[in-house]
Structure 1
Amino acid sequence: MAIRPPENWRAGMAEEARELAAGTLDPECAGMAELYPESLLRATDEALQAFERDLGALGEPSDDQAFDTIKHVVLRLNAIDDGSHSGGAGYDTGEREQLCEYIDETLTEHGVDVAALAARRGIGRADITDEWREW
């Protein structure tokens, strides 16, 4: 099962806290708590859970249904990234890549051939979120 990116981010925060406690990380180099406030983590988790539920409800989605589900999760993530739901925090390059990978993996786990889906729309596999993505 695809691991939701907030789980990775929480793990990174926990590792940083262990390093700080052990004295192996200079406090001036720590910043994960600022990058990943709980509001960002919670909102992102909720958006991805809704994506999973939406896909699960479709069974074997048509191309239009798959893209509609992608559009909805991307729009939810756009709203989170704008900072109004996440205390001003948002997604940087690493987070964007993890989110796109998660969307691809989750679609695949729900029986969607993502490469074929993208090809039928005349786009690359990595471009399935681009039409709506602002982050």
Structure 2
Amino acid sequence: MPSIPRDLRYTTDHEWLTIGDDVSVAGVTAIAAEALGDVVYLDLPEVGTTLRAGEPCGEIESTKAVSELYAPADGVVVEVNAEVVAEPGLLNAEPYGRGWLLRLRITGAPDLLDAHAYAALVGAEVEELR
């Protein structure tokens, strides 16, 4: 099972979020990417879209199924990762790196899990910082 990066925050729907001063980055966890199988298509919200935490905001299509993407926090989309839209396999290969999905300007305090709480939820190990 993939490890969980310590410096991110997580939802119970398997999305991750950086907590930045102005803009946060969101993506799907390695555990979710592994469960999805090979991702072949992403439908992400447009820049300027207002998101509500926990509500569907896009779709991820893999060779196994089509899954909804849920907003990790209330906010406004300020950037969509065009690279991962053009090459959806990056979500599988680098879910915490080049496979990020959205940059959000957070408008409300998100209710997120820390790495240890998410790891306990999914039965994984927290990746220690090097």
- Return the index of the structure with the highest Cα Rg: 1
Q: Which of the pair is proportionally richer in helix?
A: 1
TM-score normalised to structure 2 length: 0.26
Q: Which of the pair is proportionally richer in strand?
A: 2
Tell me: higher relative CO, structure 1 or 2? Use CA pairs within 8 A at least 6 residues apart.
2
